[in-house]
Structure 1
Amino acid sequence: MGEAGQSREGESITPLLGGGTGNKVAAPPQQFNSLPAPNENASYINQATSYLGSYFSHSSEYGGKDSCKSLSHPHELLRSTSGGDGDSPVSVCVSPGARCSTSSESPTSAANSPSAESTDTPSQASNAIVTSNWLGLSGTSMFQGLIERALRTVRGSADDIGWLQRDPEMPPVEDGTDRFNRILEDIGCLDGVFIFRHGVHRLPNTVVYLLVPGLFSNHGPLYFVDTKTKFSKMGLACHIAKIHSESSVEKNAREIKEYIEELCWGSNKKVLLLGHSKGGIDAAAALSLYWPDLKDKVAGLVLAQSPYGGSPIATDILREGQLGGYVNMKKIMEIMIFKVIKGDIQALEDLTYERRKQFLKNHPLPQELATVSFLTEASISPAALATFSHVAQAELPLTKLPVVMPLGAAMAACAQLLQVRYGEKSDGLVTCCDAEVPGSVVVRPKRKLDHAWMVYSSLNEAPLEADAAQVCEALLTLLVQVEEEKQRQLD
């Protein structure tokens, strides 16, 4: 009997793959002579597949860990026969991270080489087929992952915006817009017949007013300054919370709690809080987390343009599994916030819908707390693109030079983007439905106001309209009325 792997006399063997032990290889049928050489096709296909596999091999989303590890060995080869004389076997490397190469051997060396004999064994042929199948599955998985990322990117925050209003467990809101407008008219605006009403100020001086700034407020020297100045001229004790607004919500909540306790200890008065943007979330978190310690020290809270339910801007930037994940957008934002403005990336993460849902589930606002929420819609007209905000001033020897920035134009562009993408009205950063605090008295003015208007004065301010300080005064006056009604209900 002959040894295994050798043919018996009189029998002819035609190998399916090149590189057999014999020197004679059956030529392909004549009708296929016009096609390109199979070894050239295999080389091109596997070079492209190897390149794509190496590019996406870092992502665990495409295939399992075992399949990724299986491509880490540089000895996986796919062999094919030549399209010419069929005597030159070709080995194509399909290992990711390495350049694919082809090597041809002479019939003599192929016949005499032990490795050439081993490539004809059924196990080696099976390995080549398995490798080819894996490449097909990997390519399918890779493109499926790309499609999923694209759909996730396009869908964005469409399912999250307005979740507070759709949650049946949240308490309903009360519309206080008409009451707010009447208070604002009494403070000092023009009425319908253009008769100026002298200022009627109803804010009591028996409480302390604490203004809580929002995100990036440390980089705007005039943030809330105009409001504080006008409150002080009315004889009201008004303070701006000196917190690091780019810190996390829980860290700022602890600092606000200490701030409230210090003000109460020094004045023996209760505190009314008005928080703008993230400042409203920080103040609300302080009352939610430390209410047993603060319930006798706080009279109420106003949240002005605060993303209480979450922010689509922050969520879209930091969402996992998007096309932007290939450039690691979260890492870029972390570098910008930490290195440039000396902040914490968690300050932005705390504004995402996922974090807000989790926090509000564990720490809701106390129901006995008097709360007013203020939301606005930014103008997207061409005139809004020419709006500049006064954010600082340069001290010169003889004068003060205002430092302006096109914040109004930026807010208008963002508002238009949110309107086109999600069909939602916003102030440029916060959608109107996400700014409504459940259980609060909601103010929805018809006047177009962007997110920056509440804290920075505009250079083209309308002379017949209320300014930001008057709006803050009207909101706090409404809060005093709501707090009195709450007390009567509890009594």
Structure 2
Amino acid sequence: MDDPFLHLASLSSYIAQQFVQFIEDLICRDLLGWSEYLVDFGGLLVNFTTVPEACSFPSRVSDTGTSFRFHGRRSSYVNDNLPVNSFLEIVRSNQSYGGFRLIFEGLMLPVYGLRFTWKLTLASWRCFVSHIRCALVQVQSVISRVRTTLRGSSDDIGWLQQAPEMAPVVDGSARFRELLQGIRNGQHTLPDSFVYLLIPGFFSNHGPLYFVSTKKFFSKMGLTCHIAKIHSEASVEQNAWELKQCIEELHWGSGKHVMLLGHSKGGVDAAAALSKYWHDLKDKVAGLAFVQSPYGGIPVASDILRDGQIADKETRRIMEFLLCKLIKGDIRALEDLTYEKRKEFLKNHKLPDDIPLISFHSEASIALNVIATMSHIAHAELPWLPLPGFGDDESENVIQAGCKVPVIVPVSAALALCALHLQLRYGEKSDGLVTCRDAEVPGSVVVKPDIKLDHAWMVYSSWRKDPNEPDASEMCEALLTMLVELGMKRKEVLC
């Protein structure tokens, strides 16, 4: 019985021989596979030429499909008696070179391992540095968003006064007080030679009493007064086009010039109509009065829709849902009131110089008693209900209860809180929405009342009226009377 260890040793020796033979065949194939390679061995020129078929050399090298041709050449130092069987020496040299190459590559394995380890280390380090850079970029982005959020509109409020190309304003508060006092004493000098158009502002479609008391007040004096039928939550460009058509219709129907009074966004819409379509409206419009209008922009809109601040995308989605889905408005109506959009619009569209302008702005009260002030914004009509009567007649025992109930909303309280926020954050006085500096239109006559009024006071009457204080209708009449005077003075100067 054969020894199994001898079989194992023989098998190991056979496998080793086959492996060595495979390596030598691979090296010889690479060495002899070169085309037209010339080797000079002591004056004997050997040309290796690849042939398509295998040669008949009885060795392992013959499997490579390479033939050898010898070309003799003479030289001054070469002996003529060259050995004929130099082919064996060449093969031995090639085999010895292949063995040396194998040994050299074997010795180079640690070097290759070190090179691979170095490359792996470099790749790991680069990956680590890349992750560190990404983390730094994210941290810098968060820091930038925090700074943008905290800074808010600090650099934008009052930019109209800082722009060198903007015309200066003139203070007309004293004359306004004189006219207002005369109106309260029964001196109504507003002429009926104009058509007075009241332009509502933001969310006016959701307040049925918006400008209603002022219109009734003007109608009782025999004046032609209208409230512009525009979508308050539409963009400025759309409302400007609708106002242009409305002004042309009023002028064509009455033959009179139109006096404009715009509240809040209504003033911005009216200014856009004049600046874009002045060529068509210059013979139809006599003047424009801005009442608490954010001509330069509004910080609340900018702080809500500013890009690059914390949760800017989420805030925009919420506002789009509120304005577009619930109110059926346009998000551009709020975007057009931001500082960025106002700067862009005023750069491309400027108000004409030959029209009288008045800018009215006020400051809201932030006292504690303002929280108890309620605003009357609408009427709710109750359905018919049979209620018992207290008379003797049986016909009086049933009373129809279909009547109107006032809708009271704490608008003044909300505006007081917003005014307090703007004062604490930016140190700016405002009516609760529009800062005083942003409401001053360049080249206009600025009117500052001596009483504190919030943003909604001019269009919504207070539930508790003070008879000693003027109401919104009287203030609107004073503003339009002053606007008529400015137009007459301008005509006198031109004449």
Tell me if both proteins adopt one fold, taking TM over 0.5 as the criterion: yes
How is 1:69-468 mapped onto 2 (pairs within 5 angstroms)? Answer: 121-188=117-184, 197=185, 199-325=186-312, 327-396=313-382, 397-468=401-472
Q: 1:4 to 1:408 in 2, by over 3 A?
A: farther
Tell me how far 1:487 sits from its aligned partner.
Answer: 1.0
Q: Please report how far the alpha carbon of residue 7 of structure 1 lies from its aligned counterpart in structure 2 after TM superposition.
A: 4.3
| Runs of 4+ displaced beyond 4 Å | 4-8
| Cα separation, 2, equivalents of 1:488 and 1:358 | 35
How far apart are residue 154 of structure 1 and its match? 0.7
**Structure richer in helix, relative to its length:** 2
1:456 offset after TM fit, Å?
A: 0.4
Structure showing greater radius of gyration is 2
CA offsets, 1:291-318, max 9 Å, x none? Answer: 1111110010000000000111101111
Q: What amino acid is aligned across from residue 245 of structure 1 in structure 2? A: S
Q: Out of 136-145 and 289-298, give the one that drifted further.
A: 136-145
Distance in structure 2 (CA, Å) of the matches to 1:300 and 1:342: 32
2:160 counterpart letter in structure 1: L
Give distance in 2, aligned partners of 1:210 and 1:187.
20
Q: Map 1:472-483 onto structure 2 (within 5 A).
A: 472-483=476-487
Query: What secondary structure does 1:238 align onto?
Result: strand
Cα displacement (A) at 1:122: 3.4
**Distance between the aligned counterparts of 1:7 and 1:468, measured in 2?**
94
| Cα separation, 2, equivalents of 1:353 and 1:467 | 31
Cα distance, 1:125 vs. partner?
2.8
How far off its partner does 1:365 sit?
0.7
**Alpha carbons of structure 1 residues 400 and 5: separation in structure 2 relative to 1, 3 Å:** farther
Separation in structure 1 between the aligned mates of residue 106 and residue 237 of structure 2, nearest angstrom: 78
- 1:343-371, Cα deviation, whole Å (9 max, x unpaired): 11111111011111111111111111111
User: Structure 1 residues 141 and 222 mapped into 2: Cα distance closer, same or farther (>3 Å)?
Assistant: same
Partner Cα separation in structure 2 for residue 156 and residue 432 of structure 1: 17
Give the secondary structure class of the aligned counterpart of 2:311: helix
Go from structure 1 to structure 2 and tell me whether the alpha carbon gap of 1:283 and 1:4 turns closer, same or farther (over 3 Å shift).
farther
Matches of 1:473 and 1:4 in 2, distance apart? 104
AA of the residue aligned to 2:122? S
Structure 1 residues 4 and 309: alpha-carbon distance in aligned structure 2, compared to 1, 3 A threshold = farther
Q: In structure 2, how many angstroms separate the alpha carbons of the residues matched to 1:483 and 1:362?
A: 26
Q: Shift of the alpha carbon at 1:399?
A: 2.5
| Structure 1 unaligned residues grouped into runs of 5+ | 16-117, 189-196
TM-score, structure 1 as length reference: 0.74
Q: Could you tell me which amino acid in structure 1 is paired with residue 340 of structure 2?
A: E
Number of aligned residue pairs: 373
Percent identity between the two aligned chains: 58
Moved more, 217-226 or 457-466: 457-466
**CA-to-partner distance for each residue in 1:182-203, whole Å, 9 max, x for gaps?**
1111111xxxxxxxx3x11111
**Equivalent AA in structure 2 for residue 141 of structure 1:** V
Query: Secondary structure, in 3 states, of the residue corresponding to 1:442?
Result: strand
The amino acid that maps onto 2:296 is G
Counterpart-to-counterpart distance in 2, 1:437 and 1:235: 31
Q: What's 1:71 paired with?
A: none
How far 1:3 moved relative to its partner? 3.8
Gaps of 5+ in 2: 1-102, 383-400
Judge which range, 353-362 or 120-129, deviates more. 120-129
- 2: distance between equivalents of 1:245 and 1:487? 34
Query: Is 1:469 equivalent to 2:465 in the alignment?
Result: no
How many Å separate the matches in 2 of 1:329 and 1:7?
61
Q: 1:489 Cα deviation (Å)?
A: 1.4
Alpha-carbon distance between aligned partners in 1 of 2:288 and 2:478, rounded to the nearest angstrom: 13
- Describe the shift of the 1:256–1:122 C-alpha distance in structure 2 as closer, same or farther (beyond 3 A): same
Q: How many Å separate the matches in 1 of 2:118 and 2:449? A: 79
What is the CA distance between 1:4 and its match in structure 2? 7.5
1: CA distance, partners of 2:454 / 2:246: 29
Between the aligned partners of 1:347 and 1:127, the Cα distance in structure 2 is 53
Give 3-state SS (helix, strand or coil) of 2:405's partner. Answer: strand
TM-score by length of 2: 0.73
Which SS does the other structure have where 2:272 is aligned? helix
